[in-house]
Amino acid sequence: MIARMSTLFVRTLREDPADAEVASHKLLVRAGYIRRAAPGIYSWLPLGLRVLGKVEGIIREEMAAIGSQEVHFPALLPREPYEATGRWTEYGDGIFRLKDRKEADYLLGPTHEEMFTLLVKDLYGSYKDLPLAIYQIQTKYRDEARPRAGLLRGREFIMKDSYSFDHTDEGLEAAYQAHRAAYVKVFDRLGFEYVIVKATSGAMGGSASEEFLAVSEAGEDTFVRSPGGYAANVEAVTTLAPEALSYEGVPAAHAEDTPDTPTIQTLVDHLNEAFPREDRPWEAGDTLKNVLLTLRHPDGTVEPLAVGLPGDRDVDIKRLEGQLEPIEVEPMDDVELKKHASLVKGYIGPEALGEKSESGIRYLVDPRVVTGTRWVTGANVEGQHVIDLVAGRDFTPDGTIEAAEVREGDPAPDGSGPLTLARGIEMGHVFQLGRKYADALGLQVLDENGKLVTVTMGSYGIGVTRAVAAVAEGTLDDIGLCWPRNVAPYDLHLVATGKDAAVFEAAAKLAEELKAAGIDVLYDDRPKVSPGVKFKDAELIGVPTIVTVGKGLVEGKIEVKDRKSGEKTEVALDEAVAHLIAVVRD
């Protein structure tokens, strides 16, 4: 087909939109692919819709290849199934809720586990019906607190969500691996750099879970990698706990005056001055920091939590939330703190914490705080710290938790070397949900022995509109978008320059010949637009090959430019069609 710039519904902008932070967002708006309709809600112009269609097409092909069948669910969903699984409440402010004219409760679906489960329950009843894999490409809604970065975190967005149904764990494992392999093919075809990382499963429940992250500074997810191949979302990293130590011969804990030491650094400085160690100076890692937090449950109730961790690390709230989902975590405020009379702000030690203490606050420690480790920590007295407090001897926490920040250079938990940190965009997520939803909604089938067994499920998502942004983000350059061929809105961008009627005739003829060969051409036929503006538009729009018919025509030549490399080739007009077919099919 041929689209003509003279009539295409597009206008490019020279200025970045005011609300755009990341490069892909700026360029997708400037190049006329999308427009903002409301915060986190976008309209798609023809160019954008074509790229979206290409991405959807790739996903559909790879889903069909593993035998997954396409269905389509509504976005407007009744409350009851989400009530049955607890998610009506768990989602908190994160979903859009509404009432119909009869005051019945509805939500705009953020994800469709419940609906898929109920549909399979409606249709199927025997193990012979399984395995089953079904999916949809559908518009979803989340009332994000901070929609950002254009399509990267929207409030209305398109997802591909698949679900697998099996009656055995082996079946689920096979379905999981099939979807994982299909996702590898999808993301390979989309043409950007990605990693597969271990993930927590968040509000979804379930066990095994991996994420596909597009490697990008614009991403909101932090992940780690080791030289030996370990990769995980930072929320899912586990800490290598050291072996328990013997504390034989460790002196009894002793409280000391430590005036004016409100921070870890001032405490360490004071220790080194007042209580110098012989072997080496005191370090922040010798102190045990106790951080008080408030956990907010989706139903609005709150409870306190204390986390103990080495003083050289901060609590990573997002990582903590990853393990406590759907609970939200925030630092405990002073009003709440004052409710616990036994706690001395700035000098809180383990003895004031724990379910058996006076405060009764649950006390969890970093996995590095193993039995036998020695700490300097608060003495529960204003202006005092305690030295030589030994875990397992002087205090026993209620348990451990992964709450500490992960740092560059930390060891990978599988021993595969030091971790490096990077940022990524979550593009896909594969989960082994297990029986959580089937249990809640009563999805059972008769097995080989005529016994009812609960079905086990997998859930597999791809952010489709987000993928458009991620591809853009991963491929753009200083001058504009730079689409991989698989998802480009057109195969070729053909530019006719100058005022010579012969140029426009030759270009129009070339466009028709290319169309006849099945090539999709964006033809810049605008008669009164300067070559400079046309080239700038072509670079901004980012079709992978730019063909110019202009001055060279008098010598029977056209110019073919690779958008990515900038490499230009002169081609004889009468060889142009064959040459361009080869370029496009390459």
Strand partners, 480: 477
Contact with a copy of itself (CB under 8 A) among 22, 26, 44, 179:
44
- Using the rule CB under 8 A, which residue among 19, 70, 330, 575 binds a copy of itself? 70
- Rank residues 118 and 387 by Cβ distance to a copy of itself and give the closer one: 118
Q: Which is nearer to a copy of itself, 128 or 345 (CB)?
A: 128
What are the backbone dihedrals phi and psi of residue 328, each rounded to the nearest 5 degrees, phi first? -100, 145
Size of the site for a copy of itself (CB under 8 A): 49
Stretch that binds a copy of itself, among 30-38, 230-238, 412-420, 560-568 (CB under 8 A): 30-38
Tokens 């191949």 locate to 229
CA distance 4 to 335: 65
- As measured in angstroms, the least distance from the Cβ of 144 to a copy of itself is 9
Cβ proximity to a copy of itself: between 138 and 475 the closer is: 138
Beta bridge partners of 157: 140
Cα–Cα distance for residue pair 57/140, rounded to 1 Å? 19
Q: What mask, x for binding a copy of itself by CB under 8 A, covers residues 94 to 133?
A: --xxx-xx----x-x------x---x--xxx-------x-
17 binds a copy of itself (CB under 8 A): no
Which of the stretches 136-144, 198-206, 230-238, 406-414 binds a copy of itself when contact is defined by CB under 8 A?
A: 136-144
Query: Interface with a copy of itself includes 35 (CB under 8 A)?
Result: yes
Strand order in the sheet with 288-296: 328-331, 288-296, 302-310, 363-365, 399-400
**Residue 585: Cβ-neighbour burial (10 angstroms; 0-12, 13-18, 19+):** exposed
Tally Cβ neighbours within 10 Å of residue 195: 18
By C-alpha distance, which of 250, 77, 165 is closest to 435? 165
CB burial string 69-103: b at 16+ within 10 A, e below: eeeeeebebeeebbebbebbebbbebbbeeeeeee
* Binding status of residue 84 toward a copy of itself by CB under 8 A: no
139 contacts a copy of itself (rule: CB under 8 A)? yes
CB of 581 to a copy of itself, least distance (A): 23
Q: How far is CA 335 from CA 331, 338, 351, 357, 360, in A?
A: 12, 5, 22, 20, 17
**Closer Cβ to a copy of itself, 90 or 211, answer by number:** 90
- Which residue do the tokens 């399984």 mark? 130
Minimum CB separation of residue 529 from a copy of itself in Å reads 12
Binding span for a copy of itself by CB under 8 A among 141-149, 239-247, 258-266, 554-562: 141-149
User: Considering the rule CB under 8 A, would residue 11 count as an interface residue with a copy of itself?
Assistant: yes
Residue 110, helix vs strand vs coil: coil
Residues 537 and 17: their CA atoms lie apart, in Å, by 17
Contacts to a copy of itself by CB under 8 A: 7-11, 32, 35, 37-38, 41-46, 49, 52, 67, 69-78, 93, 96-98, 100-101, 106, 108, 115, 119, 122-124, 132, 134, 139, 141, 143, 145, 155-156
